[in-house]
């Protein structure tokens, strides 16, 4: 079997001393008396956490090549997640401290994780946390850059391959120490003074971008706008012992970036503090934050980074204290395909993109953008759909979406299950870029200018979400746009 190859390799993924409480958390040695499941005879549901250092080497491009390359590591970038088993098959949830994973890089990491767990790729959900002092990884874009003269660097392909192997090995090792789960826990807490909507309409009537940090008084003083203020926490229990916690919150996590110093930023700092305090592995997923930042509450200073991390940490603690428990029951996994619409404007056409890509006089940022856009369009033409997934554990539903989806998609998903607990992770396949709403595309502004998908992507994504969440019969399973019904076919 494919898994056998991992037994022959010497040494599994090295753990960062800063990322884990040595090997104790991984081995489960802190959870004395818990049953460890190996091979056959697995219970209804079992879980094991994993962690792998995915920090790039010094000099590697950050944020895809748009900002200063890596010069120092303030704290390591990690791939963290869980292997789950229902006794018949296994599933993997993984959150990576990178900005984005796109096309070939997303496929490669998902493939290696699937191989490590000896499962089909459809049983794997890979998301990025979306820190910006971290890689944007697109293997196909780098291959396109390799074909033209004097191209700016984007991704070290050897590093990408090695990283995917290490994560796969960490997943394989986790599969050997599964622990029985008796209860699922779920709680939430309001995060104070963190998230704000990036799209701000000012007195001039125009949509302005309130980026992750700003000192502009007009943007700082504008209302928060539409956000989801709740951090949601899911805990896997063996009796009264928490085995691992998953946290979900919708905001860009970066406080400042561009200084060449790798960091897991606000989300990672809060995650690590709680992990050290509790002795329980913590995994963090970023929700639908395509139009959500900390800009209203962040001036880009080191002090602000600490304050934002503190607010996330406090919300995690409160969500844990608010946790309700339910018997685990059966694990239910479901997938759906969505075909997002490609942009059709002249500047998005292949001849234009190839011309910019090959132009040695063009700005490096323009050539990088052309490579990323072209890589996505080629992928979408050869493989038009993206896979979404949903995990259901009793009253808990975990939804995994692609791209930089707007907060409206998260709120829509939750509206379909008003009495249930729905936690949403976006930033899966990052190729589409921003997944805007129809209204935002009509308004213009930053995100619609950068998005690689257009009409009728909102309707199609909402239709796929409805299929996954199976809402109450009294609620619509399709978005309420009867005139667009044909677009979901």
Residue 5 has pLDDT above 50, yes or no: no
Got the DSSP string for 145-208?
HTTSTTPPP---HHHHHHHHHHHHHHHHHHTTSEEE--EEEEEEEEPPS--EESEEE-TTS-EE
**pLDDT for 330:** 87
307-342 burial by CB neighbour count: b if 16+ within 10 A, else e?
A: bbbebbbebbbbbbeebeeeebeebebeebebbbbb
Q: Shortest CA distance to 467 belongs to which of 488, 450, 451?
A: 488
Packed helices 103-117 and 364-382: angle between N→C axes, nearest 10 degrees: 60
Cα separation, 363 vs 359, in Å, equals: 9
CB atoms within 10 A of CB 451: 23
Strands (DSSP E) found in 304-408: 324-327, 331-338, 341-342, 386-393, 396-400, 404-405
Mean pLDDT for the chain? 90
Q: Which residue has the tokens 């994504």?
A: 461
Q: 39: phi > 0 → left, psi -120 to 50 → alpha, else beta; which?
A: left
- Per-residue pLDDT, averaged over 87-95, amounts to 96
Residue 268 has pLDDT above 90, yes or no: yes
Residue 105 has pLDDT above 50, yes or no: yes
Q: Shortest CA distance to 452 belongs to which of 399, 355, 360, 381?
A: 381
Cα separation, 79 vs 97, in Å, equals: 6
Using 50, 70 and 90 to split pLDDT, how confident is the model at 471? Answer: low
What is the pTM (predicted TM-score) of this model?
Answer: 0.90
With a CB cutoff of 8 Å and minimum separation 6, the contacts of 252 are 130, 198, 212, 286, 289, 292, 293, 294
**pLDDT for 479:** 52
User: 61 and 154 in contact (C-beta within 8 Å)?
Assistant: yes
- Per-residue pLDDT, averaged over 464-488, amounts to 59
- Per-residue pLDDT, averaged over 420-446, amounts to 97
Residue 27 has pLDDT above 80, yes or no: no
User: 469 and 416 in contact (C-beta within 8 Å)?
Assistant: yes
**pLDDT for 22:** 33
Q: Token pair of 362, please?
A: 């063009």
Q: Alpha-carbon torsion 157, 426, 23, 132, what sign?
A: positive
Q: Which of 3 and 414 is assigned the larger pLDDT? A: 414
Residue 17 has pLDDT above 60, yes or no: no
Rg (CA), the chain: 21
Q: Token pair of 40, please?
A: 């056959």
**pLDDT for 329:** 85
**pLDDT for 470:** 80
Packed helices 302-321 and 265-278: angle between N→C axes, nearest 10 degrees: 50
Residue 401 has pLDDT above 50, yes or no: yes
Residue 348 has pLDDT above 80, yes or no: yes
**pLDDT for 488:** 37
Q: Which residue has the tokens 């009796």?
A: 239
Using 50, 70 and 90 to split pLDDT, how confident is the model at 9? Answer: very low
- Per-residue pLDDT, averaged over 47-63, amounts to 98
Q: Which of 463 and 36 is assigned the larger pLDDT? A: 463
Q: Token pair of 487, please?
A: 């677009």
**pLDDT for 291:** 98
**pLDDT for 41:** 46
**pLDDT for 43:** 54
**pLDDT for 430:** 98
Q: Token pair of 395, please?
A: 């009253």
- Per-residue pLDDT, averaged over 326-354, amounts to 94
Residue 79's Cβ-side half-sphere holds a number of Cα atoms within 13 Å equal to: 29
**Maximum pairwise Cα distance, the chain:** 66
Using 50, 70 and 90 to split pLDDT, how confident is the model at 44? Answer: confident
Cα separation, 214 vs 205, in Å, equals: 20
Give the distance, in angstroms, between the CA of residue 447 and the centroid of all CA atoms in the same chain.
18
Q: What is the pLDDT of residues 283-306, one digit of tens each?
A: 999 999 999 999 999 999 999 999
């Amino acid at each position: 079997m494919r898994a056998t190859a991992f037994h022959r390799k010497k040494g599994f993924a090295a753990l960062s001393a800063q990322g884990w409480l040595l090997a104790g958390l991984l081995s489960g040695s802190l959870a004395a008396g818990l049953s460890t499941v190996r091979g056959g005879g697995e219970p209804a549901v079992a879980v094991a956490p994993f962690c792998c250092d995915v920090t790039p080497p010094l000099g590697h491009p950050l944020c895809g090549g748009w900002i200063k390359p890596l010069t120092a590591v303030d704290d390591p970038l990690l791939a963290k997640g869980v292997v789950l088993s229902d006794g018949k098959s296994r599933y993997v949830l993984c959150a990576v401290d990178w900005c984005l994973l796109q096309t070939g890089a997303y496929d490669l990491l998902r493939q290696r994780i699937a191989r490590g767990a000896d499962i089909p790729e459809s049983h794997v959900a890979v998301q990025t946390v979306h820190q910006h002092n971290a890689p944007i990884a697109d293997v196909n874009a780098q291959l396109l850059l390799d074909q033209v003269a004097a191209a700016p660097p984007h991704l070290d392909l050897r590093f990408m391959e090695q990283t995917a192997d290490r994560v796969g090995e960490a997943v394989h090792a986790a599969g050997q120490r599964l622990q029985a789960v008796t209860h699922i826990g779920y709680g939430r807490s309001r995060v104070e003074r963190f998230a704000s909507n990036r799209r701000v309409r000012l007195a001039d009537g125009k949509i302005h971008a309130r980026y992750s940090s700003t000192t502009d008084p007009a943007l700082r003083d504008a209302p928060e706008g539409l956000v989801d203020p709740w951090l949601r926490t899911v805990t896997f229990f063996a009796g009264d012992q928490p085995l691992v916690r998953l946290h979900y919150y919708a905001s860009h996590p970066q406080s400042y970036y561009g200084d060449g110093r790798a960091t897991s930023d606000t989300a990672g700092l809060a995650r690590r503090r709680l992990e050290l305090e509790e002795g329980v592995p913590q995994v963090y997923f970023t929700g639908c934050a395509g139009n959500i930042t900390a800009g209203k509450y962040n001036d880009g200073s080191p002090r602000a980074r600490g304050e934002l991390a503190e607010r996330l940490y406090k919300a995690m603690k409160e969500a844990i204290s608010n946790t309700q428990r339910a018997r685990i029951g059966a694990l239910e996994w479901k997938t759906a395909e969505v075909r997002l619409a490609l942009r059709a404007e002249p500047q998005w056409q292949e001849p234009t993109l190839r011309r910019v890509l090959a132009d040695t006089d063009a700005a490096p940022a323009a050539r990088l953008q052309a490579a990323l856009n072209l890589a996505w369009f080629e992928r979408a033409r050869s493989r038009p759909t993206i896979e979404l997934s949903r995990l259901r554990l009793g009253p808990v539903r975990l939804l995994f979406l692609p791209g930089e989806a707007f907060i409206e998609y998260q709120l829509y998903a939750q509206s379909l299950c008003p009495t249930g607990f729905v936690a949403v992770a976006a930033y899966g396949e990052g190729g589409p870029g921003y997944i805007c709403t129809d209204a935002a595309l009509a308004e213009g502004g930053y995100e619609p200018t950068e998005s690689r998908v257009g009409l009728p992507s909102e309707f199609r994504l909402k239709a796929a979400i409805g299929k996954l969440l199976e809402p109450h019969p009294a609620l619509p399973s399709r978005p309420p746009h009867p005139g667009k019904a044909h677009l979901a076919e």
